[in-house]
């Protein structure tokens, strides 16, 4: 095979990808299909999607399992978009324009390489579900208005690098599902007790030793409720109650005895040695390709 033939291969591959994507977009225009599915098409950038940002009628755009590293700010032209799925790509950052989309209800950017969020990210007017799980985020990169998304019903922050969750969490009054599993969490804010609609709490596989007593104020024992808290280095009283079941944990943290233990731990724990972090060096989100 000649050198010229080899050099043409990447160009030919890109043209083939564009041809497949263009076919999907052309068919959607012809049929007035408002839902675009471009899953696992080998797409590297939005440049391979000609005319996409002129299709202002679409309500759902699925681009998961591709190789996109950058979202064009022009995405905000899709004024009727309600669902955007960009999970399992190579995203390192998000455009500021994303949070201005007037009808966006569901945003999934999980399984990417995000280590920051744009300023003003919490300005989404109607967002209900936000999935940021399996990235490289921590409490230091959350913009100041992150917890001002009052419409949010489900927030997934699992598989990141959070050690603490800011007190602003308590502002999410409509939150029903909170996913914090597989982080480096050392504590939860007492303001979690203000999430009166919360029905699912996932805090497994962190570095938590105690729970704020306010967790007992939440309805996490109903038939449709879920609380996952395994794989944490709990203080002995909580570990013992956990062996008996979640309901025993909830009842125990209501007691005055536990509140004394909790307060002592919070006073001494912050100055004492923290449980070791898990090794995340081999996470896919750490890849620097």
Confidence check: pLDDT of 239 > 80: yes
Could you list the beta-strand ranges (E) of 20-105. Answer: 35-37, 60-62, 83-85
Asked if residue 226 belongs to a domain, the reply is: yes
Mean pLDDT of the chain: 91
Q: Is residue 256 part of a domain?
A: no
Task: Indicate whether 64 belongs to any domain.
Answer: yes
Which whole number is the average pLDDT over 35-49? 94
Residue 110 reports pLDDT greater than 90: yes
Which domain, by its residues, includes 63?
A: 20-233
CATH code of the domain in which 45 resides: 3.80.10.10
How far is 157 from 202, CA to CA, in rounded Å?
10
Query: Within a domain: residue 14?
Result: no
Considering the chain, what percentage of its residues have pLDDT values greater than 70?
A: 89
Q: Decide if pLDDT at 151 tops 60.
A: yes
Residue-wise pLDDT tens digits, 241-261? 999 999 999 999 999 999 999
- Confidence check: pLDDT of 4 > 80: no
Q: What is the rounded distance in angstroms from the CA atom of residue 275 to the CA atom of residue 282?
A: 20
* Mean pLDDT, residues 132-154 taken together: 97
CB 159 within 8 A of CB 278: no
Asked whether residue 274 is assigned to any structural domain, the reply reads no
Residue 5 lies in a domain: no
For the chain, the domain total comes to 1
CB of 74 within 8 A of CB of 47? no
Percent over 90 (pLDDT), the chain? 81
Alpha helices (H) in the chain, listed in sequence order: 3-31, 236-244, 246-252, 256-269
pLDDT for the residue numbered 279: 76
At residue 202, the 3 state secondary structure works out as: strand
pLDDT at position 271 is 54
Between these two residues, 218 and 270, which has the higher pLDDT value? 218
Pairing of strands 200-202, 226-228: parallel
């Amino acid at each position: 095979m000649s050198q010229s033939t080899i050099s043409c291969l990447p160009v030919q591959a890109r043209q083939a990808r564009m041809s497949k994507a263009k076919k999907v977009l052309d068919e959607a225009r012809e049929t007035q299909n408002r839902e675009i599915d471009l899953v696992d098409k080998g797409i590297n950038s939005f440049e391979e999607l000609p005319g996409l940002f002129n299709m202002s009628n679409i309500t759902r755009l699925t681009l998961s399992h591709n190789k996109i590293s950058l979202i064009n700010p022009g995405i905000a032209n899709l004024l009727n978009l309600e669902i955007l799925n960009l999970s399992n790509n190579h995203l390192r950052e998000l455009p500021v324009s994303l949070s201005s989309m007037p009808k966006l209800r569901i945003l999934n950017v999980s399984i990417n390489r995000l280590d920051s969020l744009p300023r003003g990210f919490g300005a989404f007017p109607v967002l209900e579900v936000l999935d940021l799980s399996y990235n490289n985020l921590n409490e230091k990169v959350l913009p100041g208005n992150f917890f001002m998304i009052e419409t949010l019903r489900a927030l997934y922050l699992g598989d990141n690098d959070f050690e603490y969750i800011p007190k602003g969490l308590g502002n999410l009054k409509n939150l029903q599902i909170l996913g914090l599993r597989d982080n480096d969490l050392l504590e939860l804010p007492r303001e979690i007790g203000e999430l009166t609609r919360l029905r699912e709490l996932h805090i497994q596989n962190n570095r938590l030793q105690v729970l704020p007593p306010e967790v007992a104020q939440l309805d996490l024992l109903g038939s449709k409720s879920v609380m996952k808290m395994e794989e944490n280095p709990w203080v002995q009283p909580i570990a013992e109650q956990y062996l008996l079941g979640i309901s025993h944990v909830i009842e125990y943290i209501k007691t005055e005895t536990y509140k004394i233990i909790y307060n002592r731990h919070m006073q001494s724990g912050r100055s004492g040695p923290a449980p070791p972090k898990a090794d995340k060096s081999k996470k896919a989100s750490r890849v620097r390709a």
